Structure 1
Amino acid sequence: MSMEQAIRRLWIVILALCGLIAFGTLAFHLAERLNPFDSLYLTITVLSTVGFGDIVPETASGRMIYMMLVLVGIGIFGYAVSSIASLMAERSVFKLARGFLFLGGEEKLRDHVIVVGWNRVSKFVCDEMRVNGQKVVLIVEDDERGREASRAGYDALVGSPLEEGTFKAARIDSARAVVLTEDDPSKNLMTVLRVRGLSKEVKIIVVCSDDLMRSLFYRAGADRVINLANVSGRILASFVFEPLVAEVIEDLSEARIGLDARQLTFRAGRSYTVGELRSRGLKGIIFMVMRGEKKHYYPGESFALEPGDIIVLAGLKDHLDHDEKLLEGL
């Protein structure tokens, strides 16, 4: 069951229960000539099966109302209580409420990343996103994985990635990227087609271990197709021949501690040379500058950075935090 369906079912039960309470209160007020509070009190005791017996219907019409509420109301009331208790026991009611408000309310998602699937790969993806301060919304296909993701601290939508409504609930229109980590390449391919049909701008990144599918993903609209076996295999080989190089690569891939790499857009009001930035306190190493479609590796001191250039900085995490603030202040 998707999050939207669960919320809809819960609202239907709540509205039906409120309607029964309103009906019972009004009916007892008219039939038994009770004041509104006593009518409400009697209705609640009937629906909740408490039955203190201090107020009982005395007229035939009142007893008819009582029997109707017992037959109809107890079932709805019991179902509502058991549903809410079950959701609370699974720590899902708070997740549903928070998801409902967060995904559809005032705090509308923007510039977030949608991750499809919950497995070891997607967990590492989400953890790294969280370290970098990136908002993540997960799409999973069953409640069990949704609960696992929820316990890990991530917002999860339970629904099919092949359905348009699932991505609309995840705010595909304002998402920064979609990362597909499912093990089934055919399902990933159909998901790429679905996502690209909903948004021409969002970046689509696919995890795929089948080189034969690579070209199909690109034709379907994927921006990047990552073969984890190739990447991990190269790093493993580097640990044999160049262990220090492999350690640096591994360190750069993690944002928690040590070395880090960061992609920034140069938004200064004018051009600056690398030397000028150094004199202003730039600490990281400018690994690459991308201007248009051209890449400039290791630019020298005289290289002039232009507004709109994309910079890849490498260095210690604390230094890069400092450099990011420095560049934002230019």
Structure 2
Amino acid sequence: MLSMRARMGTYWSMLLGAVLCLVIVIAGIAGFMVIEQWDFVSSFYMVVITLSTVGFQEVHQLSEAGRMFTALLIIGGVGSFLYMAAAFAQVLVEGRLQILWGKRRMMKEIGKLKDHFIVCGYGRIGSIVTKEIMGEGHAVVVVEQDLELIENMEQEGVLCVEGDATSDEVLLAVGLQSARSLISALSSEAANVYVTLTARQLNPDLTIIARAGNKSHISRLELAGADRVVLPHFIGGVRMAQSVLRPTATNFVELALRGGIDLQMDELSVSTGSELVGKDLIDSKIRPRFNLIIIAIKKKNGDMVFNPGPKEVIDAGDTLLAVGRKSDLTKILDIM
């Protein structure tokens, strides 16, 4: 996209060219009426055939002064029209080149991404997902076909690619093989199934989250390869009910997850080389060292251990669900 100053400068050039052309036409009519004593219609006709360079015969015999005036009129008129045409061409060429350069630069930036998130669809759900992930400081690339939404994302600084999310080429272009996760938030159930199936085939280790319209579609998406299926309407209904039944608890969880307070909840993945591997919660000293509370452990096999006891052993591949200050959650990453 052209900068505002550049666009305004080019548009002013076009406007100036148009004004010059109008002034020359008016001056030409007035000149023939004064110099040659012609009527308005004859003068206007002479100006038109002169500036258009069609080469028609003169309306009346021109005097020597009239011929000199006509020559000056041709020079000024043709120059003004060329100036306006050049300004108009500049708008077209610069705008097109800027768009192409912007796309090339964006694709180059996308090509450098690693461990990023891919969001398919920038509708009501996809836009929220994108902003939430970006708000946490993670890189996101959006695949969208709607040109208006593409333009909005470019203005908002969101990395995006125009294309069909069900296409292998498009998914590979947004770095599917080096991405951390893909979120399929398209409005079409069939499209979400196809995207999930394609993404799983291209990257078997990718975490895939898919959107479903109703519970009957969950099994299809899971069979296609989705790690988790989300029903936005169901979650919204549950959230509203819990806001009425347990307003304080619901508000706390939302604030903790979204960083509305200093106390936050986060997932901590235990790597093979972590010093926590093989230790129980007491020996790990997570609470006294980092002032964090472990409220659950997701074992490597997928089992969830809620409110784990002090003798619960931490294994490589486990995920600890911890609550604490953001600064403390950042510190513990050094030993994970």
For the superposition of Structure 1 and Structure 2, which TM-score range results when normalised by the shorter chain? 0.5 to 0.7
CA change 1:226–1:259 in 2 (3 A) is farther
CA change 1:155–1:278 in 2 (3 A) is closer
CA distance in 2, matches of 1:236, 1:225: 20
- Which residue of structure 2 aligns with residue 275 of structure 1? 282
Judge conservation of contact 1:140–1:146 (CA < 8 Å) in 2: yes
Q: TM-score, normalised by structure 2?
A: 0.66
- Which residue of structure 1 aligns with residue 74 of structure 2? none
Aligned with 1:158 (options 150, 158, 162): 162
CA distance in 1, matches of 2:278, 2:330: 17
Q: CA deviation at 1:129?
A: 1.0
Q: Secondary structure at the match of 2:258?
A: coil
CA distance in 1, matches of 2:319, 2:169: 35
- Which residue of structure 2 aligns with residue 41 of structure 1? none
CA distance in 2, matches of 1:291, 1:142: 41
Judge conservation of contact 2:182–2:207 (CA < 8 Å) in 1: yes
CA distance in 1, matches of 2:162, 2:278: 48
Amino acid at match of 2:317: G
- Which residue of structure 1 aligns with residue 143 of structure 2? 139
Aligned with 2:329 (options 315, 320, 323): 323
Judge conservation of contact 2:269–2:317 (CA < 8 Å) in 1: yes
CA shift digits 1:266-298 (9 cap, x unpaired):
242353332342464222220111222232221
Amino acid at match of 1:290: K
CA shift digits 1:243-286 (9 cap, x unpaired):
11221232234135444321112242353332342464222220
Q: Secondary structure at the match of 1:133?
A: coil
CA distance in 2, matches of 1:260, 1:87: 46
Judge conservation of contact 2:296–2:307 (CA < 8 Å) in 1: yes
Q: 1:221 aligned to 2:225?
A: yes
Aligned with 2:320 (options 290, 294, 311): 311
Aligned with 1:301 (options 282, 306, 310): 310
CA distance in 2, matches of 1:304, 1:191: 38
Aligned with 1:233 (options 233, 237, 241): 237
CA shift digits 1:12-70 (9 cap, x unpaired):
xxxxxxxxxxxxxxxxxxxxxxxxxxxxxxxxxxxxxxxxxxxxxxxxxxxxxxxxxxx
Q: CA deviation at 1:119?
A: 1.8
Q: TM-score, normalised by structure 1?
A: 0.67
CA distance in 2, matches of 1:259, 1:232: 24
Q: Secondary structure at the match of 1:314?
A: strand
CA distance in 1, matches of 2:169, 2:144: 14
CA distance in 2, matches of 1:275, 1:320: 22
- Which residue of structure 2 aligns with residue 128 of structure 1? 132
Judge conservation of contact 2:263–2:326 (CA < 8 Å) in 1: no
Q: 1:114 aligned to 2:136?
A: no
Identity of counterpart residues, as a percentage?
22
CA change 1:217–1:308 in 2 (3 A) is closer
Judge conservation of contact 1:238–1:246 (CA < 8 Å) in 2: yes
Q: 1:85 aligned to 2:85?
A: no
- Which residue of structure 2 aligns with residue 52 of structure 1? none
- Which residue of structure 1 aligns with residue 297 of structure 2? 289
Q: Larger deviation: 187-196 or 216-225?
A: 187-196
CA change 1:243–1:97 in 2 (3 A) is same
Judge conservation of contact 1:248–1:259 (CA < 8 Å) in 2: no
- Which residue of structure 2 aligns with residue 102 of structure 1? 109
CA distance in 1, matches of 2:264, 2:131: 15
CA distance in 1, matches of 2:104, 2:146: 18
Root-mean-square deviation (CA, aligned residues, Å) is: 2.7
CA shift digits 1:146-202 (9 cap, x unpaired):
111122221000011122111111011111111011112122222222222322221
CA shift digits 1:285-330 (9 cap, x unpaired):
2011122223222123333323432111123xxx243234235247
Amino acid at match of 2:294: I
- Which residue of structure 1 aligns with residue 209 of structure 2? 205
Amino acid at match of 1:304: V
Amino acid at match of 1:99: M
